[in-house]
Amino acid sequence: MSAAQFKEIYTDGACSGNPGPGGWGTRIEFADGQVQELGGREEKPTNNRMEMQAAIAALAFLQESLNIADIQQAASTPVVLHTDSEYVKNGITKWIKVWKKKGRKTSAGKPVLNKDLWQQLDDLSQTLKSKQITIDWRYVRGHTGNPGNERCDEIARAYSHSQPIALSQIELDRKSDEKQQKTRSKRKTTKADEKQPETAISIPENSENETKQRDSSIDMPEINAGTETEPSRKAALRFYETSSPSGQATEEQATENAMAASTHPKNGPALEVSRIDRIQNTLTTLQVTDELAKQGYLITSAELADLMDVNASAVTSRGDYWAWRNWTVSRIRREGNQILWQLERIDE
C-alpha cells in the first residue's frame, strides 16, 4: 500500500460527575480515507483530565506511527488537532509557556494542577517538534454536529459507562508492524525513554486504564488572557450588606454602624445573630459551588459572579484559567453571547 499521511485528529473527553467515571475518545483521519480510533476510561478522573488524556493518546499514536514505513508525514504539513476544550487548547499553546518559566509552578510556588498530564502533553509535543512535525491546535465547539467531534464524544461516553463500542482501525502490512515492534523494543532500552512517561492507548481488546491519581496541588496560574466582557449584573449573594436610603451602604455608614454596635450593649445579641447568618450564607454558597464542581455543570459569567459576589466583568477580566477559594475556574467555551465556565475542586 502507498504511504498514508495524517489529515486531521479529533479528541474529546466525558465524565459522569466531576470527578466520576470518565472516558476519552480519539479519532485520527488519514488522507487516503483510513481512520484510526482510540478510547479509554478511568474510574474517578475530572472532565479536564479526560480531555487531556484524549489529546495525549493522539500525539502518542502520531509519534509511534512515524516509525512505521506505511505512514509518512511531510514536515511542511502541520497535523490539525481539533478539541472542544479551550482548557486543553489554551493550556498547551499559551499557559504551558508561563508555567515552564516558573518551573511548572504557580505564582504561589505550588505545582500546577494536572501537572502530570501537562508534562506528558508537552513532552510529546516537543518530541514531535524535534521530528519537524507541528500540531495545529484548533478549538471546535462541541455538540454542534461536527462529525469528528460527535464521534469522539460517542466513544468517550461509551467508555465512561463501560459500554462496548467498535473502533475503526487502520490496516498495516505485517512487515511494517514487525518493524514497529522492533523499534519499540529498541526504544525501551535507551536511557532517554526511561525518563519519559509512557502513554497508554486503550482499544476495546485491552483492559481498562488504571485510575490515575489526581494532582492535589493548587492551580493558580498568573495569566490574564484576552478579556471579554459581558453585561454587569448585581450579585445575588451579599454577605456584608447593610441598608441605606439608596439601597447601598457606604463605607462610612458601615463603619458608623459597627461603632454603634460596639458601644451599645443592647445591640450585642442582634450583631451576633447577623454574624451567624453571614457565616451560614457563606457555607451555603460554598456547598452550592462544590456541587456544581462535582456534577461538572457549566455556568455563565453572571452565575459565577453571583457565587463570588462580584460583577460579571470582574470574572471575565481574570482570564481563561484561575483559582478561587477551593476551586480552579476554567473557561470552557462560548455559546452565543455567553461564556461558559467550569469549576474543579482543588484537593488539599
Catalytic residues: 12-13, 51, 84, 143, 153
User: Which residues, including other chains, have CB under 8 Å from residue 322's CB and lie 6 or more apart?
Assistant: 220, 221, 223, 328, 329
Residue 133 and residue 125: Cα distance in Å, rounded? 9
Other Cβ atoms less than 10 A from the Cβ of 116: the count is: 16
- Consecutive H or E run containing 121: helix 115-130
Residue-wise DSSP of 292-310: HHHHT-EEEHHHHHHHHTS
Residue 210 and residue 45: Cα distance in Å, rounded? 11
**Residue 175, helix vs strand vs coil:** helix
Other Cβ atoms less than 10 A from the Cβ of 312: the count is: 23
Residue 308 and residue 91: Cα distance in Å, rounded? 24
Say if residues 169 and 5 touch (Cβ distance below 8 Å).
no
